[in-house]
Structure 1
Amino acid sequence: MSEDADISELLALLDDEYARAILTETSVEPMSASILSDRCEASLPTVYRRLERLQKCDLISEQTTLAPDGNHYSVYEARLEGLEVTLDDGELTLEVRRRDEDVADKFTRLWEGMR
Structure 2
Amino acid sequence: MQTTAVNWSNHLIKQLSQQDAYTDDETPYATFYSDTMSDSSLSADQLTTIADLLADEYTKPLLEEISREPMTIPELTTQLDASRTTVYRRIQTLSELDLVESQIRPEPGGTDATAYAATLSEITISLESGSFEAEVTHTDTDAVDRLNQLWGDL
Output the TM-score relative to the length of structure 2: 0.62
Q: Match of 2:131?
A: 91
SS state at 1:102 partner: helix
The structure 1 residue matched to 2:142, chosen from 98, 102, 105, is 102
Letter in 2 for 1:52: Q
Paired residues in the alignment total 104
**Partner Cα distance (1:62, 1:17) in 2:** 22
Indicate yes or no: 2:89 matched with 1:49. yes
Task: Give structure 2 stretches of 5+ with no counterpart.
Answer: 1-40, 146-154
Structure 1, residues 23-68: CA drift from partner, whole Å, max 9, x if none?
A: 0001111111111111111011111111101101111111111111
The structure 1 residue matched to 2:115, chosen from 52, 75, 81, is 75
Equivalences for residues 55-70 of structure 1 within 5 A: 55-70=95-110
Report the Cα offset of residue 2 of structure 1.
6.2
SS state at 1:8 partner: helix
Report the Cα offset of residue 84 of structure 1.
0.5
Letter in 2 for 1:17: E
Which shows bigger deviation, 5-14 or 58-67?
5-14
> RMSD between aligned alpha carbons?
1.9
The structure 2 residue matched to 1:35, chosen from 56, 69, 75, is 75
Task: Give structure 1 stretches of 5+ with no counterpart.
Answer: 106-115
Q: Match of 1:9?
A: 49
Letter in 2 for 1:32: T
SS state at 2:58 partner: helix
Inter-CA distance 55–90: structure 2 relative to 1 (3 Å threshold): same
Indicate the structure (1 or 2) with the bigger Cα radius of gyration: 2
